[in-house]
Amino acid sequence: MIQEAEPVNDATFDGSVSVIMPAYNEARNIAGNLRETVETLSAMDCDFEVILVDDGSSDLTYLQAAKTIAVSPTRLRVIRYDRNLGKGNALMCGFSYARGEYIVFLDADMDLHPRQLPRFFQIMQERSADAVVGSKFHRESRVEYPAVRRMYSTVYYGLVRLLFGLPLKDTQTGIKLFKAELLRRVFAKVLVKRFAFDIEVLANAHRLGYRIVDAPVTLTFSRKFGRVKMHDVIDVLKDTLAIFYRMHILHYYDRQPVDLDPRTYGMPAVEITQTDLVGP
Protein backbone atom coordinates (compact mmCIF):
# COMPACT_ATOMS: atom_id res chain seq x y z
CA MET A 1 0.00 0.00 0.00
CA ILE A 2 1.48 3.34 -1.06
CA GLN A 3 1.27 6.08 1.50
CA GLU A 4 2.33 9.66 1.95
CA ALA A 5 5.87 10.00 3.24
CA GLU A 6 8.39 12.52 4.42
CA PRO A 7 9.75 15.01 1.87
CA VAL A 8 13.10 14.27 0.29
CA ASN A 9 15.84 16.24 2.04
CA ASP A 10 19.05 17.64 0.58
CA ALA A 11 21.30 14.69 1.37
CA THR A 12 23.71 13.78 -1.42
CA PHE A 13 24.72 10.32 -2.58
CA ASP A 14 28.35 9.55 -3.34
CA GLY A 15 28.33 6.17 -5.04
CA SER A 16 25.90 3.71 -6.59
CA VAL A 17 22.92 2.31 -4.69
CA SER A 18 21.18 -1.06 -5.01
CA VAL A 19 17.75 -1.28 -3.40
CA ILE A 20 16.75 -4.91 -2.77
CA MET A 21 13.03 -5.51 -2.24
CA PRO A 22 12.04 -9.03 -1.16
CA ALA A 23 8.40 -9.83 -1.96
CA TYR A 24 6.04 -12.67 -1.20
CA ASN A 25 2.48 -12.65 -2.60
CA GLU A 26 2.48 -8.91 -3.29
CA ALA A 27 0.95 -9.10 -6.79
CA ARG A 28 -1.89 -6.75 -5.94
CA ASN A 29 0.28 -3.73 -5.11
CA ILE A 30 3.77 -4.50 -6.40
CA ALA A 31 3.56 -2.68 -9.73
CA GLY A 32 2.50 0.59 -8.12
CA ASN A 33 5.01 0.20 -5.31
CA LEU A 34 7.87 -0.36 -7.74
CA ARG A 35 6.90 2.67 -9.82
CA GLU A 36 6.74 4.76 -6.65
CA THR A 37 10.16 3.53 -5.56
CA VAL A 38 11.78 4.28 -8.92
CA GLU A 39 10.22 7.75 -9.02
CA THR A 40 11.33 8.49 -5.47
CA LEU A 41 14.91 7.42 -6.08
CA SER A 42 15.04 9.31 -9.37
CA ALA A 43 14.13 12.48 -7.48
CA MET A 44 17.12 11.91 -5.21
CA ASP A 45 19.49 12.32 -8.18
CA CYS A 46 21.56 9.22 -7.47
CA ASP A 47 22.92 6.28 -9.45
CA PHE A 48 20.58 3.46 -8.43
CA GLU A 49 18.98 0.16 -9.29
CA VAL A 50 15.93 -1.51 -7.78
CA ILE A 51 16.03 -5.31 -7.50
CA LEU A 52 12.69 -6.98 -6.79
CA VAL A 53 13.12 -10.58 -5.58
CA ASP A 54 10.02 -12.77 -5.72
CA ASP A 55 10.47 -15.26 -2.89
CA GLY A 56 8.49 -18.13 -4.44
CA SER A 57 5.13 -16.32 -4.49
CA SER A 58 2.01 -18.25 -5.42
CA ASP A 59 0.25 -15.21 -6.93
CA LEU A 60 2.62 -14.40 -9.85
CA THR A 61 4.12 -11.40 -8.07
CA TYR A 62 7.08 -11.54 -10.43
CA LEU A 63 4.88 -11.12 -13.53
CA GLN A 64 3.15 -8.04 -12.12
CA ALA A 65 6.55 -6.67 -11.16
CA ALA A 66 8.07 -7.41 -14.56
CA LYS A 67 5.33 -5.43 -16.29
CA THR A 68 6.83 -2.30 -14.72
CA ILE A 69 10.31 -2.83 -16.17
CA ALA A 70 9.41 -0.55 -19.05
CA VAL A 71 9.12 2.32 -16.56
CA SER A 72 12.90 2.25 -16.14
CA PRO A 73 14.49 -0.68 -17.99
CA THR A 74 18.04 0.26 -16.98
CA ARG A 75 17.19 0.64 -13.30
CA LEU A 76 14.53 -1.95 -12.47
CA ARG A 77 15.31 -5.65 -12.26
CA VAL A 78 13.08 -8.59 -11.33
CA ILE A 79 14.48 -11.82 -9.89
CA ARG A 80 12.51 -14.93 -9.00
CA TYR A 81 12.74 -18.53 -7.82
CA ASP A 82 10.02 -21.14 -7.36
CA ARG A 83 10.03 -22.07 -3.67
CA ASN A 84 9.36 -19.78 -0.71
CA LEU A 85 12.53 -19.81 1.39
CA GLY A 86 12.18 -16.69 3.50
CA LYS A 87 13.04 -13.03 3.42
CA GLY A 88 16.68 -13.62 4.30
CA ASN A 89 17.21 -15.90 1.32
CA ALA A 90 15.55 -13.32 -0.95
CA LEU A 91 17.83 -10.55 0.31
CA MET A 92 20.95 -12.67 -0.11
CA CYS A 93 19.81 -13.70 -3.58
CA GLY A 94 19.18 -10.07 -4.52
CA PHE A 95 22.61 -9.11 -3.26
CA SER A 96 24.20 -11.65 -5.60
CA TYR A 97 22.80 -9.55 -8.49
CA ALA A 98 23.51 -6.12 -6.98
CA ARG A 99 26.07 -3.76 -8.46
CA GLY A 100 25.88 -0.92 -5.93
CA GLU A 101 28.47 0.27 -3.46
CA TYR A 102 25.61 0.78 -1.00
CA ILE A 103 22.86 -1.76 -0.41
CA VAL A 104 19.38 -0.92 0.84
CA PHE A 105 16.97 -3.51 2.21
CA LEU A 106 13.41 -2.26 1.70
CA ASP A 107 10.16 -4.12 2.33
CA ALA A 108 8.00 -4.37 -0.78
CA ASP A 109 4.74 -3.46 0.98
CA MET A 110 5.82 0.20 1.28
CA ASP A 111 4.83 0.50 4.94
CA LEU A 112 8.24 2.18 5.04
CA HIS A 113 8.58 4.67 2.19
CA PRO A 114 11.93 4.97 0.35
CA ARG A 115 11.68 8.74 0.66
CA GLN A 116 13.23 8.22 4.09
CA LEU A 117 16.51 7.03 2.60
CA PRO A 118 18.33 10.38 2.33
CA ARG A 119 18.21 10.64 6.12
CA PHE A 120 19.84 7.21 6.33
CA PHE A 121 22.69 8.31 4.06
CA GLN A 122 23.07 11.52 6.03
CA ILE A 123 23.35 9.57 9.29
CA MET A 124 25.83 7.13 7.71
CA GLN A 125 28.05 10.02 6.68
CA GLU A 126 27.77 12.06 9.87
CA ARG A 127 28.42 9.11 12.17
CA SER A 128 30.96 7.31 9.96
CA ALA A 129 28.76 4.23 10.04
CA ASP A 130 28.96 1.04 7.99
CA ALA A 131 25.26 0.24 8.47
CA VAL A 132 22.19 2.29 9.36
CA VAL A 133 19.18 0.39 10.69
CA GLY A 134 15.65 1.75 10.85
CA SER A 135 14.27 1.73 14.39
CA LYS A 136 10.66 1.92 15.51
CA PHE A 137 11.95 2.81 18.97
CA HIS A 138 14.05 5.81 17.93
CA ARG A 139 12.89 8.91 19.78
CA GLU A 140 12.14 10.66 16.46
CA SER A 141 10.24 7.76 14.88
CA ARG A 142 6.57 7.99 14.00
CA VAL A 143 4.98 4.57 14.03
CA GLU A 144 1.49 3.18 13.78
CA TYR A 145 1.22 -0.57 14.08
CA PRO A 146 -0.64 -3.18 16.17
CA ALA A 147 -0.08 -3.26 19.92
CA VAL A 148 0.73 -6.97 19.84
CA ARG A 149 3.51 -6.36 17.32
CA ARG A 150 4.85 -3.58 19.55
CA MET A 151 4.88 -5.98 22.50
CA TYR A 152 6.73 -8.67 20.51
CA SER A 153 9.30 -6.13 19.34
CA THR A 154 9.93 -4.77 22.84
CA VAL A 155 10.48 -8.21 24.36
CA TYR A 156 12.62 -9.36 21.45
CA TYR A 157 14.79 -6.24 21.59
CA GLY A 158 15.48 -6.87 25.27
CA LEU A 159 16.55 -10.43 24.53
CA VAL A 160 18.78 -9.41 21.62
CA ARG A 161 20.42 -6.69 23.66
CA LEU A 162 21.14 -9.20 26.42
CA LEU A 163 22.51 -11.91 24.11
CA PHE A 164 24.53 -9.92 21.60
CA GLY A 165 25.14 -6.43 23.01
CA LEU A 166 24.05 -4.79 19.78
CA PRO A 167 24.00 -0.97 20.00
CA LEU A 168 20.43 -0.89 18.64
CA LYS A 169 16.90 -0.59 19.95
CA ASP A 170 15.34 -2.41 17.00
CA THR A 171 16.62 -4.92 14.47
CA GLN A 172 13.55 -6.08 12.56
CA THR A 173 12.27 -2.93 10.86
CA GLY A 174 12.24 -3.41 7.08
CA ILE A 175 14.48 -0.57 5.96
CA LYS A 176 18.25 -0.81 6.33
CA LEU A 177 21.32 0.65 4.63
CA PHE A 178 24.68 -1.15 4.35
CA LYS A 179 28.01 -0.65 2.71
CA ALA A 180 28.31 -3.52 0.24
CA GLU A 181 31.70 -4.54 1.63
CA LEU A 182 30.10 -5.35 5.00
CA LEU A 183 27.54 -7.69 3.43
CA ARG A 184 30.15 -9.43 1.30
CA ARG A 185 32.00 -10.38 4.48
CA VAL A 186 28.99 -11.20 6.64
CA PHE A 187 26.90 -13.18 4.15
CA ALA A 188 29.69 -15.75 3.98
CA LYS A 189 28.75 -16.68 7.56
CA VAL A 190 24.96 -16.52 7.51
CA LEU A 191 22.87 -19.68 7.96
CA VAL A 192 19.41 -18.36 8.89
CA LYS A 193 17.26 -17.41 5.91
CA ARG A 194 13.96 -16.50 7.57
CA PHE A 195 12.89 -14.30 10.49
CA ALA A 196 16.12 -14.27 12.55
CA PHE A 197 18.16 -13.37 9.47
CA ASP A 198 18.52 -9.73 10.56
CA ILE A 199 19.99 -10.73 13.91
CA GLU A 200 22.55 -13.07 12.37
CA VAL A 201 23.68 -10.38 9.92
CA LEU A 202 23.86 -7.57 12.48
CA ALA A 203 25.43 -9.68 15.25
CA ASN A 204 28.17 -10.87 12.90
CA ALA A 205 28.76 -7.37 11.54
CA HIS A 206 29.07 -6.06 15.11
CA ARG A 207 31.45 -8.90 16.01
CA LEU A 208 33.63 -8.03 12.99
CA GLY A 209 33.93 -4.47 14.27
CA TYR A 210 31.62 -2.64 11.87
CA ARG A 211 29.89 0.47 13.15
CA ILE A 212 26.09 0.09 13.22
CA VAL A 213 23.73 2.92 14.14
CA ASP A 214 19.98 3.39 14.14
CA ALA A 215 17.75 5.89 12.36
CA PRO A 216 14.20 7.16 12.88
CA VAL A 217 11.44 5.88 10.63
CA THR A 218 7.90 6.76 9.66
CA LEU A 219 5.85 3.58 9.57
CA THR A 220 2.18 2.86 9.05
CA PHE A 221 1.19 -0.78 9.29
CA SER A 222 -1.07 -1.27 6.27
CA ARG A 223 -2.28 -4.85 6.75
CA LYS A 224 -5.29 -5.52 8.93
CA PHE A 225 -3.80 -8.88 9.84
CA GLY A 226 -0.04 -9.32 10.09
CA ARG A 227 1.86 -12.21 8.60
CA VAL A 228 3.78 -13.04 11.76
CA LYS A 229 1.99 -15.80 13.69
CA MET A 230 2.70 -17.31 17.10
CA HIS A 231 4.59 -20.25 15.59
CA ASP A 232 6.75 -17.71 13.73
CA VAL A 233 7.55 -15.98 17.03
CA ILE A 234 8.62 -19.30 18.51
CA ASP A 235 10.79 -20.04 15.46
CA VAL A 236 12.41 -16.60 15.76
CA LEU A 237 13.30 -17.27 19.39
CA LYS A 238 14.72 -20.69 18.55
CA ASP A 239 16.83 -19.29 15.71
CA THR A 240 18.03 -16.39 17.85
CA LEU A 241 19.17 -18.70 20.62
CA ALA A 242 20.84 -20.92 18.00
CA ILE A 243 22.76 -17.91 16.70
CA PHE A 244 23.93 -17.13 20.23
CA TYR A 245 25.00 -20.75 20.69
CA ARG A 246 26.95 -20.79 17.43
CA MET A 247 28.57 -17.43 18.17
CA HIS A 248 29.47 -17.69 21.86
CA ILE A 249 29.60 -21.41 22.62
CA LEU A 250 30.71 -23.12 19.42
CA HIS A 251 32.53 -20.06 18.00
CA TYR A 252 31.26 -21.27 14.65
CA TYR A 253 31.32 -17.85 12.98
CA ASP A 254 34.95 -17.26 13.93
CA ARG A 255 35.90 -20.32 11.88
CA GLN A 256 34.00 -19.29 8.75
CA PRO A 257 35.49 -17.37 5.81
CA VAL A 258 34.97 -13.62 5.68
CA ASP A 259 34.37 -13.51 1.94
CA LEU A 260 32.80 -15.71 -0.70
CA ASP A 261 31.81 -15.41 -4.33
CA PRO A 262 28.54 -13.40 -4.12
CA ARG A 263 27.00 -15.74 -6.68
CA THR A 264 26.78 -18.38 -3.94
CA TYR A 265 24.43 -16.25 -1.81
CA GLY A 266 20.81 -17.36 -1.63
CA MET A 267 18.93 -19.89 -3.72
CA PRO A 268 19.75 -19.95 -7.46
CA ALA A 269 17.31 -17.71 -9.28
CA VAL A 270 16.50 -16.30 -12.69
CA GLU A 271 16.19 -12.73 -13.84
CA ILE A 272 12.93 -11.87 -15.64
CA THR A 273 12.98 -9.62 -18.69
CA GLN A 274 10.19 -8.06 -20.74
CA THR A 275 10.46 -10.87 -23.25
CA ASP A 276 9.38 -13.29 -20.52
CA LEU A 277 6.02 -11.60 -20.03
CA VAL A 278 3.41 -14.23 -20.77
CA GLY A 279 0.21 -15.14 -19.02
CA PRO A 280 -1.86 -12.72 -16.92
The verdict on whether 198 is a catalytic residue reads: yes
Checking DSSP bridges between strand 76-81 and strand 48-55, what pairing results, if any? parallel
Residue 185 sits at φ, ψ, to 5 deg, of -75, -40
Amino acid of residue 241? L
User: How far separated are the first and last CA of the chain, in Å rounded?
Assistant: 21
> Count of CB atoms within 10 A of residue 222's CB?
14
Among residues 154, 151, 239, the alpha carbon closest in space to that of 201 is found at 239
Pick the catalytic residue: 54, 109, 198, 214? 198
CA distance 59 to 274: 18
What are the catalytic residues?
Answer: 198
